Amino acid sequence: MKILVTGGLGFIGSHTVVELQEQGYEVVIVDDLSNASISVLEGIEGITGIRPEFVQLDLRDKQGVFSFFQTNQDIDGVIHFAASKAVGESMQRPLMYYENNIVPLLNLLKELEKKEKAHFIFSSSCTVYGQAEVMPITEEAPIQVALSPYGNTKQIGEEIITDVTRVSSIDAILLRYFNPIGAHKSALIGELPIGVPQNLIPFITQTAIGVRKELSVFGEDYNTPDGTCIRDYIHVVDLAKAHVAALDRLVKGENIEKVETFNVGTGKGSSVMEIINAFEKVSGVKLHYKIVDRREGDITEAYACTRKANQVLGWKAELSLEVALDSAWKWEQKVRKH
């Protein structure tokens, strides 16, 4: 089985390529290198011993996508990661986000609907729930009006896929991620944020290693036990394995509907202060931080109900928060050695 992984040199994409190869899938990566480095190919090969085929391509280029599928007629499925993903940036650059996150999806689906059969795994996000009323969050929780163009592109993407699969031979699984963190245990691949990290864990590891002076904690007056926001932090390797489980389900024809949706999280919520304390324990490093104002757009609390993923998809997160934080720290130390 030959699988196209778009954005396969990115953080979640590269970890998924490793798990796909280890499960015997042949992988071709398409990436435009706008937010990833070609050196990630070395990291993947270093782990699996298999260098994935790589094609540099901007998926907004309709003709380029057409030519790719003409040359690669034997693609059985697509795992689509390629997209811009910074919530804050999307507020400043909505047009770039709608173009970059929707046009490639349309171009891919246009090629896949020509095929006899095609499997499509979509990188979605718990962002679609906004601030859910009930914890833990199930797949039946209502989709709320998006708070950012980024979140809106995930909602629109899900709707496009649902409408297209209804009238084509494509079947799909939508994976709604919670908060991916950590790195492969080899420290050969990991998160490579460009510029000042937006996300909590890379900012913590960069502070611990001295690249950042101190961590700003965005508010401690939320309605939570310690006043800081709660999220469901999932090891990126567990998240990667969920993609293989989803693909296996479609390849084996075990899916019950043309489009199925799964929340991919650990089912456990951790506050920012709990993350800081856990990181200090794991790394032995005292973290410098200060409490500042809330960040606009942040929700108070989000963690997944994992029953459907566990019972229907047959997948469960196995790696602990401490293992994830330790792997993030080891990766940061490795990156700074160069």
Closer CB to ligand WQD, 38 or 292, in the complex: 292
Our answer to whether residue 150 is catalytic in this structure is yes
Q: Is there binding between residue 198 and ligand WQD (CB under 6 A)?
A: yes
Q: Is there binding between residue 85 and ligand WQD (CB under 6 A)?
A: yes
Supply the minimum distance, in Å, between the C-beta of residue 292 and ligand WQD. 8
Residues contacting 266, CB < 8 A, separation 6+? 178, 232, 233, 234, 238, 303, 304, 306, 317, 321
Q: What angle do CA 131, 288, 213 make, to 5 degrees?
A: 100
Binding window for ligand WQD (CB under 6 A); candidates: 31-39, 50-58, 196-204, 260-268? 196-204
Q: What x-and-dash track marks residues 165-194 binding ligand WQD by CB under 6 A?
A: ------------x-x---------------
Supply the minimum distance, in Å, between the C-beta of residue 275 and ligand WQD. 8
Closer CB to ligand WQD, 118 or 175, in the complex: 175
CA distance 173 to 256: 11
CA distance 154 to 169: 22
CA distance 295 to 73: 46
Residues in contact with ligand WQD, counted by CB under 6 A, come to a total of 19
> How many contiguous H segments (helices) and E segments (strands) does the chain have?
11, 13
3-class state of residue 271 by DSSP = strand
Residues contacting 208, CB < 8 A, separation 6+? 279, 283, 285, 287, 329, 332
Q: Is there binding between residue 35 and ligand WQD (CB under 6 A)?
A: no
Closer CB to ligand WQD, 9 or 112, in the complex: 9
Q: What x-and-dash track marks residues 293-312 binding ligand WQD by CB under 6 A?
A: --x--x--------------
Q: What x-and-dash track marks residues 218-257 binding ligand WQD by CB under 6 A?
A: x----------x-x--------------------------
Q: φ, ψ for residue 213 (rounded to 5)? A: -70, -50
Tell me whether strands 215-218 and 53-56 are parallel, antiparallel or unpaired.
Answer: unpaired
CA distance 73 to 56: 18
Q: Is there binding between residue 208 and ligand WQD (CB under 6 A)?
A: no
10 Å CB burial of residue 22 (0-12, 13-18, 19+) is middle
Supply the minimum distance, in Å, between the C-beta of residue 148 and ligand WQD. 8
- Residue from 164, 183, 200, 236 touching ligand WQD (CB under 6 A): that is 200
Angle between helices 200-208 and 272-283 (to 10 degrees): 40
Active-site choice (150, 222, 233, 303)? 150
Q: Is there binding between residue 78 and ligand WQD (CB under 6 A)?
A: no
Q: Where are the beta strands (DSSP E) in the chain?
A: 2-6, 26-31, 53-56, 75-80, 118-125, 170-177, 179-181, 215-218, 230-231, 233-235, 259-264, 270-271, 289-292
Q: Is there binding between residue 272 and ligand WQD (CB under 6 A)?
A: yes
CA distance 12 to 179: 11
Closer CB to ligand WQD, 248 or 298, in the complex: 298
- Residue from 57, 87, 121, 276 touching ligand WQD (CB under 6 A): that is 87
Supply the minimum distance, in Å, between the C-beta of residue 133 and ligand WQD. 18
3-class state of residue 55 by DSSP = strand
- Residue from 217, 237, 242, 317 touching ligand WQD (CB under 6 A): that is 217
Residues lying near ligand WQD in the complex (CB under 6 A) are found at: 85, 87, 125, 127, 177, 179, 198-200, 203, 215-218, 229, 231, 272, 295, 298
Catalytic positions, written as ranges: 150
